[in-house]
Structure 1
Amino acid sequence: MATVQTLDKIRESLERHLGKKILLKANKGRKQIITKKGILEKVYPSVFVVKLESDNEGCSRVSYSYSDLLTSNVKLQVFKNQDKLHVS
């Protein structure tokens, strides 16, 4: 079972990547996996927020809990070359 310290370590590791471009893979159930590019925008005590790349004028944001990362329902990959992605 996940402890508070484990979730705190996940949050601290995400804080080091604030503002960086990431690839987000989220399991939405029934074999539906979405893959989006975005920027890690905010880190809160219970959740983190990703600003997604959008094709239109509007911008969308999604939030997930740290337990989603722990259970592998959500996976994040930080781009090594931070010039690859442009999010408005």
Structure 2
Amino acid sequence: MAKTLVEIKRVLDGQIGKRLQLIANGGRKKTVERYGTLAETYPAVFIVALDQSENAFERVSYSYADILTETVELNFIEERNKIAVGEQ
């Protein structure tokens, strides 16, 4: 896992446009799993465009601190394997 917000943003900047699996803490011991594409990154947040066939809304945004605190986990989906954000 990346250790700073700057490192997390740098990794995500290189992954824009790629498919991903998003696992987020939904509160009260619930987890939410969604699929989509990393759409944009901003100085404090990143935007994920969700698959419309599976979700009622188009986009979600999270802060880089959500990844740092492990509230959100992103797994980028490639043709043959998955890469977790921050793993080398």
TM range (shorter): 0.7 to 0.9
Give 2:28's aligned residue.
Answer: 30
Task: Report the TM-score, using the length of structure 2 for normalisation.
Answer: 0.81
Greater share of strand residues, 1 or 2?
Answer: 2
Is the 1:51–1:59 contact (alpha carbons within 8 Å) kept by the matching residues of 2? no
- Identical amino acids, percent of aligned pairs: 40
Distance 2:69 2:76 in 1: 19
Deviations 1:27-55 (A, max 9, x none): 01101111000000000000000000012
Is the 1:24–1:75 contact (alpha carbons within 8 Å) kept by the matching residues of 2? yes
Larger Rg: 1
After TM superposition, list the pairs within 5 Å mapping 1:1-88 onto structure 2: 6-55=4-53, 60-81=58-79
Distance 1:81 1:51 in 2: 19
Distance 1:45 1:7 in 2: 10
Residue 39 of structure 1 aligns with an amino acid whose one-letter code is T
What 5-or-longer segments of structure 2 have no aligned partner?
Answer: 81-88
- The number of equivalent residue pairs is 77
Is the 1:52–1:60 contact (alpha carbons within 8 Å) kept by the matching residues of 2? yes
After the TM superposition, which segments of 4 or more aligned residues of structure 1 sit over 6 Å from their partners?
A: none
Distance 1:51 1:24 in 2: 11
TM-align CA RMSD: 1.9
